[in-house]
Amino acid sequence: MSVEPRKYRLRLFIMSLSRPYEVYIEDDAGNRVDFPIIASDCGLFTSPVTSNSIQMAPGERYEIVFDFAPYAGQNLTMGNNMGTGPEGEIPEYFHGHGGASAGAGNTSKVMQFNVGTSISDSSNNGDVPQSLNPNIVWPEQTTEVAQTFNFENGGDARWTINGFDYDDVNNRVLARPQQGTTELWEVKYAGGPGVHPIHVHLVSFQIVERTGGSRGLLPYESAGLKDIVLLEPGESAKILANYGPWNGLYMFHCHNLIHEDNAMMAAFNVTALDGMGYNVTDDLADPADSRFLARPAQGNSYDEDQISSTISFLAGLHAYDATSSDTGAGSTATVADATVTSPVGASTITSTFASATRHAGHREKVNTGYGSPRRQAVHSVQTPA
Ligand SMILES: [Cu+2]
């Protein structure tokens, strides 16, 4: 890729089926260059995190700002270092990545940047702000594990979660967090072939802890909210999320496509019990709601005005607010307003538990056939490491 000697904001997105990466950028002399990481799966960090590499698995996203200015007229190479350490012994994904094990493939090489010598546009080339997003809504903190999920090889190319696979229609729903509550989940991979990038739908989670392997929790993993956490063999991670704003059934699964296609997937049912902190006045759970249906693109559909207008409309729904005190008909929240008013502290959520009132639109979905007592017990099923 040809680039100018200035700053670029790069979005990295791993789209491999199974392979995780450790992405780095090095100069012609082979020196790795530091760069600020500014965002991950679910948005901007509070402030940048400096690193000279990022470990990433399928589906994970990170954004960096890279300054090519010091390298005018030179080349820089983006490489992949995953597999040059002890993890190179895991054959399915790591062989041939470079270093001592190079030769079986070219997966150590990602891309090259050819840096020019002149700049055609010097806008947006200033310092990376130290304050990126002061409004991240971190989940209410708890150390009590609500659910434990073991990701395992069940034999015969079958991949399971707590011993179940998604083909088992009677045991697909492995968790039932109540809408609006925070749960700490422990996800574990005792060991075996391959890796498991665990992806949870609906929520943005905080990775609180990673144990069992050699790397621990990486600084950029805990700097923002995520929806994927990578488990290498022997690792456990704790992820904390607020289960809302919508009720209904959602997936969680391994994002290693081969595992996912072999049924390493489960569901959780976010119930709509009242009194749980969501004084919802507008049920947003219906995907066929006319407000959210796809419409044919018009000539101006992607104009900045149209995009701003759509974002303002969605922000004005206040879907992530725990109270509805600032919503209501005629709400004309702007994007800026929503950014300021959406974050709700744990104390607010807690206090609302006592005062939330039932409204006509609430549906209690526990007794719809997905929530038998037998499956309720599945929560605590664990298999030996
Ligand atoms: Cu997997």
**What's the CA gap between 184 and 190, in Å, rounded?**
19
pLDDT of amino acid 279: 59
Q: Percentage of residues in the chain with pLDDT exceeding 70? A: 74
Question: Does pLDDT of 364 surpass 70?
Answer: no
Backbone angles phi, psi at 112, to 5 degrees: -120, 145
Quote the ligand 1 centre to 258 CA distance (angstroms): 7
Quote the ligand 1 centre to 191 CA distance (angstroms): 11
Question: Does pLDDT of 275 surpass 50?
Answer: yes
Quote the ligand 1 centre to 136 CA distance (angstroms): 29
pLDDT of amino acid 154: 82
> Right CATH number for 145-273+367-380 from 3.30.70.1070, 3.40.50.300, 2.60.40.420, 2.40.30.10?
2.60.40.420
Please give the average per-residue pLDDT across 308-322, as a whole number: 81
Of 59-73, 186-200, 251-265, 348-362, give the lowest mean pLDDT range.
Answer: 348-362
Q: Which of 73, 165, 64 is nearest to 113 (CA)?
A: 73
Q: Is 2-115 CATH 3.90.1150.10?
A: no
Please list, in sequence order, all residues whose beta carbon lies within 8 angstroms of the beta carbon of residue 242, skipping any fewer than 6 positions away: 137, 139, 140, 180, 181, 182, 203, 349
Quote the ligand 1 centre to 236 CA distance (angstroms): 13
**What's the CA gap between 180 and 30, in Å, rounded?**
49
Q: Percentage of residues in the chain with pLDDT exceeding 90? A: 55
> Binning pLDDT at 50, 70 and 90, where does residue 321 land?
low
Q: What are the residue ranges of CATH 2.60.40.420 in the chain?
A: 2-115, 145-273+367-380
Average pLDDT, the chain: 79
Cβ neighbours around 214 below 10 Å, total: 10
Q: Is 103 exposed, middle or buried (0-12, 13-18, 19+ CB in 10 A)?
A: exposed
Over residues 140-199, the pLDDT tens digits come to 999 999 999 999 988 888 899 999 999 998 898 999 998 889 999 999 999 888 899 999
pTM: 0.74
Please list, in sequence order, all residues whose beta carbon lies within 8 angstroms of the beta carbon of residue 372, skipping any fewer than 6 positions away: none
Quote the ligand 1 centre to 290 CA distance (angstroms): 37
> Binning pLDDT at 50, 70 and 90, where does residue 348 land?
very low
More confident residue, 317 or 227: 227
Cβ neighbours around 294 below 10 Å, total: 5
Quote the ligand 1 centre to 69 CA distance (angstroms): 40
